[in-house]
Amino acid sequence: MPRPATILRLAALGLLLAFLLAPQHFAPVFAPLTAGGAPPIYDQGNLAMLALSHLATVLVACLASTVIAVALGILVTRPGGQEFLPLSRAVVNFGQTFPPVAVLALAVPLLGFGEKPTLIALFLYGLLPIFENTVVGLRTCPAAVLEAASGMGMSARQRLVSVELPLAMPLILEGIRISLVINIGTATLGSTVAAKGLGEVIIAGLLSNNTAFVLQGGLATGLMAVLLYDAVAAVERRLYRTARID
Amino acid sequence: MIVVESLTKLYGTTTAVDAVSMVVERNSITVIVGTSGSGKSTLLRMINRLIEPTSGRVLIDGRDTGSEPGYQLRRRIGYVIQGHGLFPHRSVAENIGTVPRLLGWEEDRIRARTAQLLTALQLDPGAYADKYPHQLSGGQQQRVGVARALAAEPALLLMDEPFGALDPIIREKAQDDLLDIQRKFGTTIVLVTHDIDEAFRLGDRVAVMSEGRLLQYDRPEVLVTRPANPLVARMTGSAERAMRLLSLTTAGEAALPWTGSDGAADGPVVPTSASLREVLSELLWRGSECATVVDADGKPHGRLTVAAILARGRPA
């Protein structure tokens, strides 16, 4: 007998897939929100394709954030790299506090409309949680464990790869999870500069004063964020199960 | 044989270890004892170069430890620390196999060695090999730490307060186990502790350190009978020195020849491995004058009278 949480997850996934693949079946639900014979379901593009490219944009940006943030996190926790910590922190904080909309506005003249400005905005926005969690994860490895690793003859690289990173992994994953969820929402802004994504539905709704569209775009994005959050959390739990890291 | 030659470590203007020289014999247990801040751990860590000495050198079997990269040196030297430092994300078997894997042993050999060590440390390989450190008790974790340090058959084992995190009852057992292991594998052990009782219990030779300097380095009974300076006398405990001396001699060594059961008939029966201190305590408790000393097979080895024991509690 599956647990209630599992049933809830499967139901959410089923609902999202059903809506993306056969949105017309949901017309009666959204019809009361429309006025003056406006279409109740978004009809200017394929919802499933929009959702896929939305997800792809977020995943690509997040992969880039992860690579850079983890590399920076490793660098500033090495003996020779500690002096770079304030600088690195300033850079990733800037990425987080500089509004993504402003990044888009600045990037469009340089890169043109489309996916690229969005990727850059999401990349910058996603750095901070991953970087901070990587730093904390690497710094909180128990001193006795690190000393044992060196005492047994691991080189600095071996110690990093086979002890420090595995021990920091749950925290790093948590950072990635936070970054992913933030960016699923933030990516809707990309549609203002013609990136393909669920933001298109929301913007179309705003332009034509159609609440049904806005709600569809918002709900689909939200469901996707919740499911993704849950999936990464499941991976984290698997890691925790094999080795309890106190 | 380990030769330490005027090893010195400076941190800025403070001297952590001040020109310490000593020779550690093969197959022996050397205990470095001192208060915190005496430089004993720093000295130990300079032997495997976890800390690089400011000056001086260490020779292991005639070879300068500075002649190869530190991590390669450390793969040949076992290292046990307080609080064990087991890898929490690796199973017991993986923990023990760490150094053999670094050295590129075959998996079959690693598995066999892991099983051998777990058995030697009274942990059933079938039950424990796949457990994770957090599933073990403190005493078991400590034993796995020792097994991990011995995995690659090092000739030298360094231990930094290895029993510091154990409660007193388990600690005594762990100390006995260490003595057994040392006899079994013939490993040379250098152990650091702040506990003078532990030093006397384990050490073939004891080095007393204070403020970075080596005050005295000798057999435990010499430390008791001829302390080199007042600090050593205070550390070895002048009030207790007679009892300490008694605890350093076993009943087997001190026993008088066996002349039949005369006089010992209603006295206690003690094993040859018991210390004179334990035998005396037993005699006092029972109000007897004479104990029978028996060997491992239960055959009479000799007898011990209160007078004979008391004679051993005075400097020769």
**pLDDT recorded at residue B265:** 62
Query: What's the whole-number mean pLDDT along residues A188-207?
Result: 87
**What does the pLDDT read at residue B263?**
54
Q: Is the pLDDT of residue A46 over 80?
A: yes
Characterize B136-153 residue by residue with b for buried, 16 or more Cβ atoms within 10 angstroms of its Cβ, and e for exposed: beebbbbbbbbbbbbbbe
Q: Is the pTM of this model over 0.90?
A: no
pLDDT attached to residue B252: 85
Answer whether A155 sits within 8 Å of B50, measured CB to CB: no
Boundaries of every domain in chain A: 46-242
pLDDT, mean of residues B278-287 = 88
Residue numbers of A between 164 and 193 with CB closer than 8 Å to B:
166-167
Look at residue B202 in the predicted model and tell me its pLDDT: 92
Task: Collect all residues with Cβ–Cβ distance below 8 Å to A14 and sequence separation of at least 6.
Answer: none
Of A142, A153, A246, the CB nearest to B74: A153
Ranges A1-5, B79-83, B253-257: which has the least confidence = A1-5
> So what's the pLDDT on residue B262?
59
Q: What is the pLDDT of residues B243-271, one digit of tens each?
A: 888 888 888 888 888 877 655 567 888 88
A150–B85 CB contact, under 8 Å: no
User: What value of ipTM does the predicted structure carry?
Assistant: 0.82
Q: Do B83 and A152 touch (CB under 8 A)?
A: no
| pLDDT (average), residues A67-71 | 96
Angstrom distance (rounded) from CA A17 to CA A224: 10
Subunit contact A243:B75, Cβ cutoff 8 A? no
Q: How many residues does chain A have?
A: 246
For residue B208, pLDDT beyond 60: yes
Query: Cβ distance B54 to B46 under 8 Å?
Result: no
Q: What is the pLDDT at residue B197?
A: 87
CB contact (8 A) between residue A245 and residue B90: no
pLDDT given for residue A1 in this prediction: 59
Collect all residues with Cβ–Cβ distance below 8 Å to A208 and sequence separation of at least 6.
Answer: A38
Are A244 and B71 within 8 A, CB to CB?
no
- CA of A170: which chain B residue's CA is closest? B89
Residue A246 has pLDDT above 50, yes or no: no
8 Å CB contact of B89 and A243: yes
* Best B42, B68, B71 residue to mutate vs chain A (most A CBs within 10 Å): B71
Residue ranges of alpha helices (H) inside B157-292 are 168-185, 196-202, 220-225, 230-236, 241-247, 251-254, 276-286
Residue B243: what pLDDT?
84
pLDDT of residue A242: 58
**Which chain A residues have a beta carbon less than 8 Å from that of B51?**
none
At the second CATH level, the architecture of A46-242 is Orthogonal Bundle (1.10)
Average the pLDDT over B142-171 and give the result.
90
Spatial strand order in the sheet of B300-305: B269-271, B290-294, B300-305
pLDDT of residue B259: 76
| Domains with residue ranges and CATH for chain B | 2-239 (3.40.50.300), 249-312 (3.90.1280.20)
Nearest residue in chain B measured CA to CA from A147: B85
Q: What is the pLDDT of residue B261?
A: 61
Report the pLDDT value the prediction gives residue B86, as an integer from 0 to 100: 94
Over residues B295-313, mean pLDDT = 86
B82/A contact by beta carbon, under 8 A? yes
Q: Is any Cβ of chain B less than 8 angstroms from the Cβ of A153?
A: yes
**Is the pLDDT confidence value at A237 over 90?**
no
